[in-house]
Amino acid sequence: MKTYKYLILFICMIPLSYSCNDVLDKNDLSGLSSDLVWQDEAYIEAYVSDIYYNLRGWQDTYSGGFRVMDNIADEGRSSYPNFLPNSLMLPGIWTVETDINDMHYWQMYKEIRKCNEFFENMETSDLNGAKIDILTAEVKFIRAFHYFELVKRCGGVPLITVPQRIDDEDIFPSRNSIDECFKFIIDEFDQAAQLFEANDVISVGNGKASQGAALAFKAKSLLYYASPQFNTGADNQRWADAEKAAKEVISLDAYSLHPEFSEVLLSKNNSELIFKKEYKLASNKPGYKYDHGRSTGYLPLGLARGDAGYSYPVQEFVDAFPMADGKEISDPGSGYNPQDPYTGRDPRFYASVVFNGTDYMGMTVNTFIGDATNGMGINQWTTNTAYFCRKNIKENLPDNYWGFRDDDTPFAFMRYTDILLMYAEAKNEASGPDASIIDVIQQIWDRAGITGTVPTGLSKDEMRDFIHNERYVELAFEGHRYWDLRRWKEAQSRLSGSKFHGMQIMPQPDGTFVYTPVEIDIFEPKFEEYMYLMPIPYAEILANPNLKQNPGW
């Protein structure tokens, strides 16, 4: 069963290398046949553009997307009591029937089918050449990307590589093993990288895939395969393979760190973004469908544009930032003062968090107890931790953008800092700390503006903790932390059994403040061992008698 009508719907919506009028001049689209589609480069490019369009980025839904991801680990919390993280995810009462959308991801098999239809139809197409090779590499990349997202959630899943039809004998596929899935994913990324390289598509700045992106996700897939969640036999070779793959991306010499940490994700085109989803600033016309509203949905109440902050950084996240010289705040020689906690910190802290007294978007944000606008705990629309999220928030949107409006902040599926940290982690696990690990992390520190040097002489375990913390503060609120805790098998110890904290800030008559950490979670977070693999949606289990549910669900 071939489904091309969506192609016609999107053909004038997707940015292409030809004009909409040129397409419409070719044929009557209402009579467009599948044979014509697969014999015309322009139509094929539109088909692939639609597959790109449906990649998830800052997806703005109440049942998934960044609002959930930012609030289910140890990064942020929302004070909306009925919000999915508070009502289901954090207390650990979600089930196989819970509609978690982005978390389940199973519905993206429809996108895998589109990829499979591409490959099937290109077999009979007369078209060839560099453009077709590049499009083929892009679809290979996207199919592998979707399978990676499925496997990191559910473990082994059915590997479907052809469009299924209702009369197929194998219409009810069983799950492939985790090993089979990772091998397929890694091979697909590798093949895509080779095709890109053969056509000199090393890196791009337009939101599409490239050799660099394919090699980067190959490295990430190998990193997950090597991590404790999936590497139950502690096979050290897997870490060595991940190290080699990350090093291959570094050796391309195609990427570099953006000079300003605060601008990395607000700048559409820069050498740090390896693969991203791009957005356009909406026309602000009534009746349009928004894509994401991160920059308007996370503001303090005093700056809100129809809504207020959906995720407030927790104290544990704030405490993870070192001082400006790189020393941990627990280090007696760091100079950290618990009653002046925001002075002299890692510059990334100031780019990530709005705290009491911050000058932000033309106003001073006060989060102390008693402030009538943004004080902690005034109501469910303002902070319950005494902090607001600053990272990835565009502070110069047009004044008429209200509510869940689109903004054009790109979503980084992969940036170069992640590759450097993946290399450091894999190298440390494979053979222990060495100078190359110090070097790549020092690059990250230097870009951030940290004045000290990365500590040397750490043991393997100490270096592991150090690298994990670097991922925590560097990649926060980018959709990585929850998955990192799962692949490290640390989610249960870090996210279960104790409530997270905010900072109660009490003003004193002399103008100073007293700072006291307080619990802020509505329910005590709970993460059980069986949750390391997510459930296959119940409806899928009912529809396919050969699908076996993950244990514990």
Write down the mean pLDDT value for the chain.
Answer: 89
Predicted confidence (pLDDT) at residue 404 exceeds the cutoff of 80: no
Specify the pairing of strand 411-415 against strand 501-507: unpaired
Domain annotation covers residue 42: yes
Mean local confidence (pLDDT), 539-548: 95
pLDDT category of residue 280 using cuts at 50, 70 and 90: confident
Domain annotation covers residue 171: no
Which of the given ranges, 14-23, 405-414, 455-464, has the highest pLDDT on average? 455-464
Distance (Å, rounded) from C-alpha 140 to C-alpha 192?
6
Mean local confidence (pLDDT), 168-178: 95
User: Do 41 and 48 contact (CB within 8 A), yes or no?
Assistant: no
Question: What is the predicted pLDDT for the residue at 62?
Answer: 42
Mean local confidence (pLDDT), 432-444: 98
The SS3 call for residue 536 is coil
Question: What is the predicted pLDDT for the residue at 97?
Answer: 85
Question: What is the predicted pLDDT for the residue at 279?
Answer: 84
Q: Which two tokens stand for residue 146?
A: 């979707």
Predicted confidence (pLDDT) at residue 19 exceeds the cutoff of 80: no
Q: Mind listing the pLDDT tens digit for each residue in 242-261?
A: 999 999 999 999 999 999 99
Question: What is the predicted pLDDT for the residue at 12?
Answer: 38
Q: Residues near 5 by Cβ (< 8 Å), separated by ≥ 6?
A: none
Mean local confidence (pLDDT), 104-108: 86
Domain annotation covers residue 480: no
Question: What is the predicted pLDDT for the residue at 508?
Answer: 97
Q: Residues near 478 by Cβ (< 8 Å), separated by ≥ 6?
A: 265, 392, 412
Domain annotation covers residue 124: yes
pLDDT category of residue 172 using cuts at 50, 70 and 90: very high
Mean local confidence (pLDDT), 189-197: 98
Q: Which two tokens stand for residue 399?
A: 């004044």
Question: What is the predicted pLDDT for the residue at 198?
Answer: 98
Question: What is the predicted pLDDT for the residue at 290?
Answer: 54
Question: What is the predicted pLDDT for the residue at 397?
Answer: 79
Question: What is the predicted pLDDT for the residue at 286?
Answer: 53
Question: What is the predicted pLDDT for the residue at 65?
Answer: 67
Domain annotation covers residue 323: no
In this structure, of 18-27, 326-335, 445-454, 505-514, the range with the lowest mean pLDDT score is: 18-27
Burial zone of 155 (CB within 10 Å; 0-12 exposed, 13-18 middle, 19+ buried): buried
Domain count of the fold of the chain: 1
pLDDT category of residue 6 using cuts at 50, 70 and 90: very low
Question: What is the predicted pLDDT for the residue at 102?
Answer: 56
Q: Residues near 147 by Cβ (< 8 Å), separated by ≥ 6?
A: 112, 157, 159, 181, 184, 185, 188
Domain annotation covers residue 442: no
pLDDT category of residue 58 using cuts at 50, 70 and 90: confident
Q: Mind listing the pLDDT tens digit for each residue in 284-298?
A: 555 555 567 788 778
Encoded amino acid at 256, one letter: S
Predicted confidence (pLDDT) at residue 7 exceeds the cutoff of 60: no
Q: Mind listing the pLDDT tens digit for each residue in 125-135?
A: 999 999 999 99
Predicted confidence (pLDDT) at residue 218 exceeds the cutoff of 70: yes
Mean local confidence (pLDDT), 91-95: 90
Mean local confidence (pLDDT), 25-48: 74
Predicted confidence (pLDDT) at residue 177 exceeds the cutoff of 50: yes
Predicted confidence (pLDDT) at residue 386 exceeds the cutoff of 80: yes
Question: What is the predicted pLDDT for the residue at 1?
Answer: 39
Predicted confidence (pLDDT) at residue 21 exceeds the cutoff of 80: no
Predicted confidence (pLDDT) at residue 512 exceeds the cutoff of 90: yes
pLDDT category of residue 64 using cuts at 50, 70 and 90: low
Print the domain residue range for 138: 1-53+105-164
Helix ranges restricted to H, 432-527: 435-448, 460-474, 481-487, 491-495
List, in sequence order, every residue forming a beta bridge with 515; answer none if it has no partner: 505
Distance (Å, rounded) from C-alpha 51 to C-alpha 43?
13
- Give ∠ CA 465-470-472 in degrees, rounded to 5: 95
